[in-house]
Structure 1
Amino acid sequence: MDWVEKLNESISYIEGNLAAEISYEKLARIANCSVYNYQRMFSYIADKSLSEYIRSRRLTMAAFDLLNGRDRIIDIALKYGYESQDAFSRAFKVFHGVSPSVVRNETVQLRSCPKLSFQITIKGENHMNYQIEQWPAFRVMGIAHKIGTKAAFEVIPKLWEDAWKDGTMQRLMENFPAEEELLHYRPAGFLGIAEGGRWGDAEEMRYIIGITNHVEAEECKYIPPLEGFEEFAYPAATWAVFEANGELPEATQKIYKQFYTEWLPNSGYELADLPVIECYMQENRQEVWIAVTKG
């Protein structure tokens, strides 16, 4: 099953469970990626978050139920996961612009969020600078944070903000390798590493802020972790390394959108079960490392 088929299968799972619990872990397993990466991928392809899409689909179907059925409003609310009629009515009014009771009694205009369907498109408008690297095993020293996968988008920017305030970044900066040795320590710069668990099996993920302190190569000297920092090991793997230079966060967002919508579906590669790594260097230079395997 190719990448686009996996995505469409995950959408079918959502569609079949709009009136039941939708497991983000199940979605990630269908797409063969972590929960965090599935949410990231979805938002860049669909131009809306996964939670927003699910909410919009449920409210779309709730409107059809109001128009075409005789179920009580409270029963429709419970069907689509709302704990009370008031909570459902508020969400319904935000989305449709009218309350559920009005739909039953008047002719009104309603919004609709159609079911998504993914397909390969080749635009050819923007080029991507990347290279496929067979990179040896490497180690990172840093600080890990356990966070809920569903809250990752909101939590991660705050982790970086706190790391600058509490001196973490300064300590890492002072322990960068010598300038003439920097080329040997890749992934380079400050690293943001998102470990989302094996194929969606974990409700929590680990996010690491750190630097590379060793690569298994003769020319690379081992830098022992600083006091208070952990060390994390990653195996030799094939990495698609994308240049993402420019102002943040737009530069990395653009790369992710192109990667998921254009590069991956046409590349013949699949996502590997390894973290996604963002590398932040000087002068608005960034790289995104995504582990891949041949499909």
Structure 2
Amino acid sequence: MISALNRLVDLVEEHLTEELDLGELATSLGTTEYHLRRMFSSLAGMPLSEYVRRRRMTVAAAAVVRGEDDLLGIAVRHGYGSAEAFGRAFRAVHGAGPGDVRRDGGPLRTQPQLRFHLTVEGSIPMDTRVVARPAFRLVGHAARVPLIHQGVNPHIQQIVTAIPPEEHARLKALSNTEPPGLLQVSDDLDPDRAEGSELTYLYGVAVAEGTPAPGDLDAIDVPAGRWAVFRTAGPYPQALQSAWAATATEWFPSNPWRLRPGPEIVAVLERADDFSTATCELWLPIEPDSLAVVEAHRQGAENDHQ
């Protein structure tokens, strides 16, 4: 995965003023666009689209300062159809318009070219299992909410606190398959996982395929497949969010699996009365990663010849 991300960075540089066919690139690297985008945003701390925009404006700023062409010519050369569109993108990155920067020489905010390196210390083992599940359904109360990476999501908190105690009991009674108990589901996520992007949040339970949902509840049908299940315990939601981040920085780069499209599910197994601490299971949909298998075989062959 690390080599694929570095190849992606190289291709961004080679085609900085063009639209990059990420799907074709992912296929050539033996992975998927979905997984490539997720791993990039998790490890880089920004969506791929934002990185491309910052790099493009970093290179464009050098042309603006050097005065090598008029602003419209620089805009067109960097993939913008008008000086106005270029100016908006330029100002969003640098905090000043290209005309101001040409006159004053700044301010400039440079985005260095990224390079990914993997360091896996293994000092904190991850409690993980891989399970194969038949198709099932998720039923409960759903709404569109913005994605928040750290801390309590107030939009989700508002949904959950508005549900009366008897409704929690009714939902629990509907549950008849894994994942167990009351679930917090994130579905239809933006591939880049950009902060503030919208997702479908569902608070509910898992039921067997074909189980009808009560008319007042929403339903998500989940196809059969494999899941990586990560168990966490500690302060809530900090321990869960840390584990979520560690799946990208530690688990996926070290294991022959990749994410596949599908809902990401949190099962709360135990919790304090005030929800300050909790034991949870994080369920992520996965599939074999052919790229990871090839890299493992290559590394094994190199070790055999040493």
1:66 is displaced (CA, Å) by 2.3
TM-score, length of structure 2 as denominator length: 0.68
List aligned pairs for 1:112-261, cutoff 5 A: 112-145=110-143, 153=147, 157=153, 160-164=156-160, 167-168=162-163, 172-177=167-172, 185-196=178-189, 207-215=200-208, 224-261=212-249
5+ residue gaps, structure 1: 199-203, 217-221
Partner in structure 1 of residue 88 of structure 2: 87
1:190 is displaced (CA, Å) by 2.4
Q: 1:42 aligns with which of 40, 48, 63?
A: 40
Bigger drift between 137-146 and 77-86 goes to 77-86
Aligned length: 271
Q: Is residue 142–residue 230 contact of structure 1 (8 Å, CA) maintained in 2?
A: yes
The superposition leaves residues 50-94 of structure 1 with CA deviations (integer Å, 9 ceiling, x where unpaired) of: 444233212211122224451223443453547626535533542
1:250 is displaced (CA, Å) by 3.0
Partner in structure 2 of residue 219 of structure 1: none
Distance (whole Å) between structure 2 residues aligned to residue 12 and residue 172 of structure 1: 52
Distance (whole Å) between structure 1 residues aligned to residue 83 and residue 169 of structure 2: 51
Distance (whole Å) between structure 2 residues aligned to residue 83 and residue 169 of structure 1: 54
1:9 is displaced (CA, Å) by 4.1
1:209 is displaced (CA, Å) by 0.1
Q: 2:281 aligns with which of 255, 268, 287?
A: 287
Distance (whole Å) between structure 2 residues aligned to residue 169 and residue 68 of structure 1: 64
Identity %: 25
Bigger drift between 251-260 and 74-83 goes to 74-83
Q: Is residue 172–residue 211 contact of structure 1 (8 Å, CA) maintained in 2?
A: no
Letter in 2 for 1:292: I
Q: Is residue 91–residue 98 contact of structure 2 (8 Å, CA) maintained in 1?
A: no
Distance (whole Å) between structure 1 residues aligned to residue 118 and residue 282 of structure 2: 22
TM-score, length of structure 1 as denominator length: 0.70
1:268 matched to 2:256 = yes
5+ residue gaps, structure 2: 192-196, 273-277, 290-306
Distance (whole Å) between structure 2 residues aligned to residue 42 and residue 183 of structure 1: 36
The superposition leaves residues 220-265 of structure 1 with CA deviations (integer Å, 9 ceiling, x where unpaired) of: xx97523221333323322111123334443233223221122112
**Cα-Cα RMSD:** 4.1
The 1:91/1:231 distance shift into structure 2, 3 A limit, reads closer
